[in-house]
Every structure is written in C-alpha cells, then in structure tokens.
Amino acid sequence: MSRVRGLDGSARGGSGARGRAIGGLAVAALVAVAACAKTTTAGSASSPSPSPSPAPDPAITISVAPVPGVGTVLVNGNGMTLYLLTAEQGGTLACTSAACLHAWPEVTLAAGVSAGIAGAGITPTLLGTVKDAAGGTLVSYGGWPLHTFVGDSGPGTAKGQGLVSFGGTWEVLTASGTGVAPAVPSPVSSAASSPASSPGPSPVVSHAPAVVPTHGAVVPTPTHTPAPLSGTSAPPATTAPPSPAASTPPPQPTYSYGYGY
C-alpha cells in the first residue's frame, strides 16, 4: 500500500484521508439540516393565529317576538319590548329630558359602531340611526327612534303600551315599522253601573160617597190621602165629617084668644 507524505513530512495512508473526507461531508449535511429546521420553526412561531369575532351586542340587536296583549312586536336581543313615541315621528327627538330618558332609555350605539344589528323577523332596510343633541348615535326603525321602558320587569311584558307622557303616546312597533294603537276600553252604561230606580207608589185618592144635596144639607168635601212612603207607617185614615141632620123648620107657635065657641 502506498503512503502519502503530509505537509509535516509524516507518512499517511490513502484510506485514512478518504475516511476523514467522508466524515466532514456528513457533519456538513447535519449542520445544514439543523439550520433548515430552525428556520422553519422560527417561521411557524412568527405567524399570528386569527382572533375570534366579538359576540353581537344584544342591546342593539333588533328582532320580533310575541308579547302577550300586544301581539308580535319589536324586541331587542335581551327580549325587552321596544317602543316609539308618537311625538318623535320622522326622527325628531322629543324625549330629551333626564326624567324621560330615565323612564324610556334610548337604544344607543357605542363609539365605533355605526348601525344596529338586524335580527330575525324584521326588514333590515327599515333599520337606521338618528343623532341626538350630544352627537350620539341612536338606533331607529322605520324612522322612529327606539326606546325600552323601565317599568317592564322582563321579556314578554309591555306595561308601557298606551301610556301618555312627554308630549305623545308610547306604542309598541310591528315588523312593518308602524305603531300598535292602544286598545280603547268599552264604554260602561250608566244604567249598568247604578241600581235601577223604581218609581214610587202612586198616590191613592179616596172620595167620600156622593150625597145628594138637600135643602140646608152640607155636601162633604172629598179627602186626599197620600200613600205611605216605603219604610214608613201609614198615617191614620181620615174620614169625612158627619153630615148634619137636615134642618126642619121650627114649630109654629099656637095662639089662644079665650073665646069659647
């Protein structure tokens, strides 16, 4: 076997040089693989994961639901009944005082939100907005600014229907964007509300028997005896005064003159 002199003058075998060359190539290959794996890992770690979309705000979600006593009307995502004020037709705000806004809160959009959310059963094109005096954005439907009522205890109640305050009447809305007029109570007959009055007893008129007048006789005067009222005792009956006896002419005097015949 031939030997090769190295730079240092030492003799080296040919098979050992080839082994070292092969080992160097293997190490270089491992380094390259490790570098690729590191680059891939770094790239995977740098890509962000998509964030979940926020849940819709139920306070500005408008849909319809059946409410006892008023039918299928507009409600928000929490099931609370929504109302219009007849004085706010066309989007002109009339409920602006602190007392009104406390009793009838508006459906207000948060900063950065431009519109309400169309829920089931409504016409999305009727959903709109109006601006208040402070520049806030309010949800409207069919041109009517929407309100809830503080007197409603929960979903399925409409205690504000037909109330008159703050310049108008509060009404629930249908999906067509119109208000539901409050029911008019049936008139109560005055005869049904008070006991029927019965006519009083008719007066009783009694007459004394007719008497044929004679010379010197007194004709009795008819008497009128009213009937006793209910709950009182009858007055004593009155009778006609007795008729005086017919007068007779006084006896004629007898004269005697003393003549004997």
In a domain, 253, yes or no: no
Strands (E), the chain: 3-5, 11-13, 61-67, 71-76, 83-85, 117-118, 127-131, 137-141, 144-145, 164-165, 168-172
Judge whether 84 and 170 are in contact, CB under 8 Å. yes
Backbone phi, then psi, for 17, in 5-degree steps?
-65, -40
What pLDDT, on a 0 to 100 scale, did the predictor assign at position 18? Answer: 59
**Among 102, 105, 99, which residue's Cα sits nearest to residue 81?**
105
In a domain, 133, yes or no: yes
Alpha carbon of 166 to those of 125, 144, 189: distances in Å? 29, 15, 32
Using CB atoms within 10 Å of the CB of residue 208, give its burial: 0 to 12 exposed, 13 to 18 middle, 19+ buried: middle
Could you read off the pLDDT tens digit of each residue along the chain, which spans 261 residues?
445 455 455 555 555 555 565 556 665 666 565 555 555 554 445 556 666 667 789 999 999 999 999 999 999 999 999 999 999 999 999 999 999 999 999 999 999 999 999 999 999 999 999 999 899 999 999 999 999 999 999 999 999 999 999 999 999 999 999 999 998 765 544 443 444 455 555 555 555 555 555 555 555 555 555 555 555 555 555 555 555 555 566 666 655 555 454
What pLDDT, on a 0 to 100 scale, did the predictor assign at position 189? Answer: 42
- Dig out the tokens for 144 from the structure: 């009517």
What pLDDT, on a 0 to 100 scale, did the predictor assign at position 174? Answer: 98
- Dig out the tokens for 97 from the structure: 């005082």
Q: How many domains does the chain have?
A: 1
In a domain, 225, yes or no: no
In a domain, 231, yes or no: no
DSSP-assigned beta bridge partners for residue 61:
117
What amino acid occupies position 181? A
pTM of the shown model: 0.55
In a domain, 104, yes or no: yes
In a domain, 88, yes or no: yes
For the chain, helix (H) and strand (E) counts, in that order, are: 3, 11
Q: Which domain holds residue 124?
A: 58-172
In a domain, 8, yes or no: no
Q: Which residues contact 158 (CB under 8 A, 6 or more apart)?
A: 67, 68, 69, 70, 73, 81, 149, 152, 172
In a domain, 178, yes or no: no
